[in-house]
Structure 1
Amino acid sequence: MTDISASHPAVRRTELVASLLDDAIRVPGTNIRIGLDPIVGLLPGVGDAASAAVSLYIVAEAYRAGVPKTTLVRMLANVGIDASVGAIPIVGDAFDAVWKGNRKNVELLKRSLEN
């Protein structure tokens, strides 16, 4: 069975963004992967805002691809959770490393395009 959604241009673009933010770097000596989101989040205030702004790009791509409003709301909730919990010093950065909200949003986009 072919996954048509994976070849969609919006999915290809958002996969790159999600990878950069959520799992671009392997922690040496482990199978754990983190992205730029928890690293940029170390900059108080500015880092989490910048990360959230980039995360909204995935939502904008989903909107342009015509996903249902309910999916967009779920995606916005993921960005909101990531940004609000991520803003908590230290705990938020650890949360960012495991939450992977951008990955979740790309999966929501893919599922929406498959239907």
Structure 2
Amino acid sequence: MEQESFRERRQAQAMGIDLPLGNSPADIRRRMEAIEFLLERSIQIPGTKYAIGLDAVIGLLPVVGDLIAAAMGSFIIWEAKRLGLPRWKLWRMVGNIALDTTLGAVPLAGDAFDLLFRSNSRNLRIVKRHLDKHHPETQIIEG
């Protein structure tokens, strides 16, 4: 079991993603930030400063891709529930993913919508506001 988690950690670090395995609010926050980065900003479009993520790429597959992206994005909601976010915040997060999935399933227009509406980034912002208020020790000051 411990070897498996070590292997997973090494693979994530090789991809440039740090996935802490603890249950502290700070570890959960870093995990959610890593998943959000992977889903929304992990692929730089050549010649631009704009980045997309797996959510937009997987969303190119009609309907099925959007359902897979929604399942991956629901990880942030699951972690938020573990942190004890109020139900209304969790429902707001579910609404963000539902809107992204529903409109993203529309051919062509949905793909453009996926590039503009970043449900996972919105959900992470909701969680960060909660953590900054209730667990200020998890804040990361970037300089």
Specify if TM > 0.5: yes
Report the aligned-residue RMSD: 1.1
2:123 to 98, 105, 114: 105
Is the counterpart of residue 47 in structure 1 residue 65 in structure 2? yes
Query: 1:65 matched to which residue of 2?
Result: 83
CA shift at 1:97, angstroms? 1.1
State the alpha-carbon separation in 1 of the partners of residues 53 and 36 from structure 2.
Answer: 8
CA shift at 1:70, angstroms? 1.2
State which structure, 1 or 2, has the greater radius of gyration over its C-alpha atoms: 2
Q: Which runs of 4+ in 1 moved over 3 A?
A: none
Greater fraction of residues in helix: 1
| Count of residues in Structure 1 that have an aligned counterpart in Structure 2 | 109
Identity of aligned residues (%): 42
Provide the TM-score with structure 1 as the length reference: 0.90
5+ residue gaps, structure 2 = 1-24, 134-143
Higher relative contact order at CA 8 Å, sep ≥6: structure 1 or structure 2? Answer: 1
The 5 A counterparts of 1:1-115 are: 8-115=26-133
5+ residue gaps, structure 1 = 1-6
